[in-house]
Amino acid sequence: MRWFDAGVNLLDARLDPDAVIRASVEAGVDKLCVITTQPKEWALAAKLCRQFPEHLCFTVGIHPHCAKLATDHDLSQLKHFIRQPGAVAIGECGLDFNRNFSPPDVQVAVFKAQLAIAVEMNMPVYLHERDAFDTQMECLMPVADKLVGGIAHCFTSDAESMHAYVDVGLDIGVTGWICDPQRGEALREAVLSLPLERLVLETDAPYLYPKTRKPRQRHNQPACLPFIGQQISELTGIPPAIISQRSYANTLRLFQLA
């Protein structure tokens, strides 16, 4: 089976790109999307993709935590980097009202600016949201029919929120959160009604280690992705091979690689 990890924080100092990619390929995870969250990461991600073009693609975006630092020049540079080989989505962008590392009004302004660029550049959006669902939807609705697509990255909420995202044309990114019977209860129930054509798998490594994988390692990595697929298979009754095939194809379509 082949797997595509749609979200890896491969620039995190806890991950060694060479070792991570080697272990991933050995586990059947032959494609990874490198997440960026701020301008200083964009050139690094582009360089990594030039080193491993067969296995890597990357996002270009400004995370809501970093919104207060964003400048007009950064947004201009975003347009430059999204044209680089391997760039597949604008993000990680969105809203995070949980800790408000950036003021909410600034988050909204920077998010809307990135949505506008996504429409202009005909690129999908890579969305982050925490405790800000209603406002995030208010930002999305005016441009939803103009976007080529996007992903609700690291989705952890309930079926109602999931279907609201699906209804505006988004894919749902499922992580190792689904392997946690306690914290992941809402997600485990929601995935039962998720259309298979909207399922995308991601690890969000080095975070969200799937609890079903034993023995536990210190950090999550893309090689753990098949355990997420296996958990979804056990919950839904869909064979792992179908989960692999459909999620892989969905991710290629999402990132316009197919």
pLDDT in tens, 163-216: 999 999 999 999 999 999 999 999 999 999 999 999 999 999 999 999 888 777
Report yes or no: 64 and 93 within 8 Å, Cβ to Cβ: yes
The boundaries of the domain holding residue 113 are 3-254
Percentage of the residues of the chain whose pLDDT score is greater than 70: 100
pLDDT computed for residue 214 by the predictor: 77
pLDDT tier at 95, thresholds 50, 70, 90: very high
Identify the CATH number of the domain in which residue 227 sits: 3.20.20.140
Q: Taking the CB of residue 84, how many other CB atoms lie within 10 A of it?
A: 16
Mean pLDDT of 138-147: 97
Residue 248's pLDDT band (cuts 50, 70, 90): very high
Given a cut of 90, whether residue 86 has pLDDT beyond it is yes
- Rounded CA gap, 95 and 113, in Å? 13
Token pair of 252, please? Answer: 């290629």
73 annotated ligand binder: no
| Residue 211: predicted pLDDT | 86
Does the annotation flag 204 for ligand binding?
yes
> What does the pLDDT read at residue 53?
97
User: What does the alpha-carbon distance between residue 36 and residue 70 come to, in Å, rounded to a whole number?
Assistant: 14
Counting the structural domains of the chain, the total is: 1
Sign of the Cα pseudo-torsion (56, 21, 43, 99, in order): positive
CB 210 within 8 A of CB 179: yes
pLDDT for 217 equals 81
In the predicted model, what is the mean pLDDT of the chain?
97
Task: Encode pLDDT of 222-241 as tens digits.
Answer: 999 999 999 999 999 999 99
Residues in the chain: 258
Which pTM value belongs to this model? Answer: 0.97
Q: In what order do the strands lie in the sheet with 199-201?
A: 3-8, 29-34, 56-60, 87-96, 125-130, 150-152, 170-174, 199-201
Q: Is 55 annotated as a binding residue?
A: no
Confidence of residue 65 (pLDDT cuts 50, 70, 90): very high
Q: Is 219 annotated as a binding residue?
A: no
Mean pLDDT of 9-13: 97
Q: 5 burial class (0-12, 13-18, 19+ CB within 10 angstroms)?
A: buried
